């Protein structure tokens, strides 16, 4: 393995996104204070920005690596999944809104399982442009929701905007999940 590609800036950005997850958890576990919500949001925003730059820089500087291709979707799923869990824990996601988070989490687990199954068959399922938009929609929705009550003081209906965007991203998540399963169905039905 090429050490220059392994420890390249794009991969370091992906590692940083993974390391940001405990930071978000730490500040979301504090009693709900404005500064803790803003700090969690700040860490989340920096981590979300790295999602754009790691892939962009890897392609631009020809530093794409197998490690980066493996870690990037894992970093995305960790960040999104943990934020959904923390928002459910603190009551930001409540009642029927929990289902938007469940849809997102279930799709991520199912698609990861499908990708693993297809990888054993040496079948590649590339990430679609729509799936990238799905991740962006999830990150934007979660940003509003992480601001939560602190954000409501600055932007009226901030939490409602976040919940609406999370439902929209859940619908996009369902569609992209269906796309992946449709593409993998021929391999699943071979037996």
> For residues 74-99, b (16+ Cβ closer than 10 Å) or e, as one string?
ebbbbbbbbbbebbbebebbeeebee
What is the pLDDT at residue 1?
A: 52
What is the pLDDT at residue 101?
A: 97
What is the pLDDT at residue 188?
A: 76
Confidence of residue 186 (pLDDT cuts 50, 70, 90): confident
What domains appear along the chain, each with residue ranges and CATH number? 3-188 (1.20.120.1760)
Give percent above pLDDT 90 in the chain.
60
pTM of the model: 0.90
Check whether 125 has a pLDDT greater than 80.
no
Confidence of residue 35 (pLDDT cuts 50, 70, 90): very high
- 167 neighbors 98 (Cβ within 8 angstroms): no
Q: Is 102 left (phi over 0), alpha (psi -120 to 50) or beta?
A: alpha
Q: What is the mean pLDDT of the chain?
A: 90
């Amino acid at each position: 393995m090429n050490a220059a590609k392994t420890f390249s800036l794009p991969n370091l950005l992906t590692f940083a996104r993974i390391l940001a997850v405990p930071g978000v958890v730490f500040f979301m576990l504090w009693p709900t204070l404005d500064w803790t919500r803003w700090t969690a949001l700040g860490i989340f925003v920096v981590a979300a920005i790295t999602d754009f730059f790691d892939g962009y820089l890897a392609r631009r500087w020809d530093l794409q690596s197998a490690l980066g291709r493996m870690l990037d979707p894992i970093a995305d799923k960790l960040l999104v999944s943990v934020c959904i869990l923390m928002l459910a824990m603190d009551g930001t996601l409540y009642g029927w809104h929990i289902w938007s988070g469940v849809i997102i989490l279930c799709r991520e687990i199912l698609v990861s399982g499908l990708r693993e199954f297809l990888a054993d068959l040496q079948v590649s399922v590339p990430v679609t442009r729509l799936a990238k938009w799905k991740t962006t929609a999830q990150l934007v929705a979660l940003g509003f929701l992480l601001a939560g009550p602190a954000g409501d003081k600055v932007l009226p209906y901030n939490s409602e905007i976040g919940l609406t965007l999370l439902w929209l991203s859940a619908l996009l998540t369902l569609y992209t999940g269906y796309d992946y399963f449709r593409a993998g169905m021929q391999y699943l039905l071979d037996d």
